[in-house]
Amino acid sequence: MWEGHTLWIRQQKEWIEIAVDWEMANQYQVLDSEKLPLGWVIEERKGWKAFFVRGFLRSRRPFSVHVMNMKKEVQLFMKRPFFFLFSRMEVKGAQGEIIGFIQQRFGILYKKYDLLDNQGFVFSRIQSPLWRLWTFPIRGIHGEEIGGIHKRWGGILREVFSDADTYQVHYANYPWTENQKKIAFAAAVSIDFDYFENNQGRRGGIFR
């Protein structure tokens, strides 16, 4: 799943959610550069309590997410607690070992994240201007661009009738480790929850 230079993450919206405008547990399909399926990203469902937490806390709610391959084998696990100001996501490998973190940072003119390894050291950053709504460049510690997360147009019917999102995660020609690729992938999921969830009628989501 992590060998190539490009991954696509396509959100799967449930029709009941589209009809009633009430967020259900998020599900995404993972695709390779040729748009062939590689696996799934699935938010855990935890009964009626979680249903109401989703409705009231919305993008600041706590959640847990699994990434599975086509054989339904867990490849990655992400967990984020409730937050007031800045989100922090923990990323774990298939065996439950911590491989890194996604930390949202304060920014006036920029949307900022630090990508950290399992020791808490920053190996790259995301710093995207507010006026570039759909683009999140990934930069190395010296400021060079080493990849990017891009929210892509999903088609007129998809955009009009739901806020289902499609993201491209691009890894530039850079000596990425597998764990670093996984953390950058997790950052795309964190960005979707932080900026683009619950955005019907507020296209773009970052001003909500």
Q: Give pLDDT tens digits for 16-66.
A: 444 444 455 678 999 999 999 999 998 886 654 555 455 555 566 788 899
Residue 32: DSSP 8-state? -
| Pairing between β-strand 6-12 and β-strand 98-105 as defined by DSSP bridges | unpaired
Alpha carbons 110 and 126: distance in angstroms, whole number: 9
List 117's β-bridge partners, or say none.
Answer: 100
Cα-based distances in Å from 91 to 34, 59, 126, 163: 26, 18, 17, 25
CATH domain 6-196 topology: Porin (2.40.160)
Ranges of the chain whose pLDDT falls below 70 = 13-25, 45-60, 83, 153-164, 197-208
pLDDT of residue 104: 94
Cβ atoms of 42 and 66 within 8 Å: the answer is yes
- Confirm whether pTM is higher than 0.85: no
Q: Which amino acid is at 195?
A: Y
User: Residue 127: how many CB atoms within 10 A of its CB?
Assistant: 17
